[in-house]
Chain A
């Protein structure tokens, strides 16, 4: 009987975060991962179609083909992390494996991080564009 008793301190350390993935949470998380997987697969197929369209379109220039390549490369890179989130999380939930689930969350973190950094870069470029536009307006009003 004594062997079965677990001290509250060690229990606290084991479950530092006292939050459980109960049945409802697991079902919600699994559905989220399934839909994330669907959206990434659609995105990957869409990127393939975009490349085909860029190549066979008679009106496309080399710049537009290059642009399509950049968009497809960036999009594939970002969506790869979302796909890995989906796969790892589904596997973790199905096998009740916290390590796999954590791996999935880590990929979700990377996905949001990349999107956030891209957004910051985009906002900086937009701010620079606005500043440049205002500067050119100011210069034009002088002359």
Chain B
């Protein structure tokens, strides 16, 4: 009896406020994930329909993608497909977080709730890796500007 009381004291529970806040959180994250899934699906559709034409034009249009110009169109399409697949997986994880966490709260299902939090973790891990890569890109642009100002002062 004492042991179970001690355990319940040490245990952290989701109280009314927390449940209410999480309920609203998953509503917004669900909206974001659904819009994200639609947007990525549209981009994949555009890539499938006009992939070769886009792959030829895009490196010239978008700054920072000049390095892609030297590659073949099929490789460029493949690179974009990989990027879309990673983005799609990230957005899907956000969707699963929304659905499973909501199910966990509504049905008092501990397993679904834990699975939902796991999906949130995966979403933030991918976001963190992208953030690190973005930071490296930022530093690369800073270094290139320094080099440019040295060459052309």
Size of interface on B: residues with Cβ below 8 Å to A: 50
Nearest B residue (CB) for A41: B131
| B131 pairs with A16, CB closer than 8 A | no
- Given A21-B11, A43-B131, A58-B149: A101 touches B117 (CB 8 Å cut-off): no
Chain A interface category by residue count: 35 or more
Instruction: Tell which of B27-35, B45-53, B65-73, B81-89 binds the partner.
Output: B27-35
A110 to chain B minimum Cβ distance, whole angstroms, is 9
Main secondary structure of the interface of B (DSSP, over half): helix
Contacts of A19 in B (CB 8 A): 13-14, 19, 104-105, 108, 110, 113
SS of A interface (majority): helix
> Contact: A36 with B124, CB < 8 Å?
yes
Q: Which of A85-129 contact B (CB under 8 A)?
A: 92-93, 96-98, 101-102, 105-106, 108-109, 112-113, 115-116, 119, 123
| 6 smallest beta-carbon distances between A and B, as pairs | A42-B131, A39-B131, A112-B28, A21-B12, A32-B121, A17-B19
- 13 further A-B contacts with Cβ under 8 Å, apart from A19-B108, A42-B134, A96-B10, are A17-B16, A18-B13, A21-B11, A21-B14, A32-B117, A33-B124, A35-B128, A36-B127, A49-B135, A53-B145, A97-B12, A98-B15, A101-B18
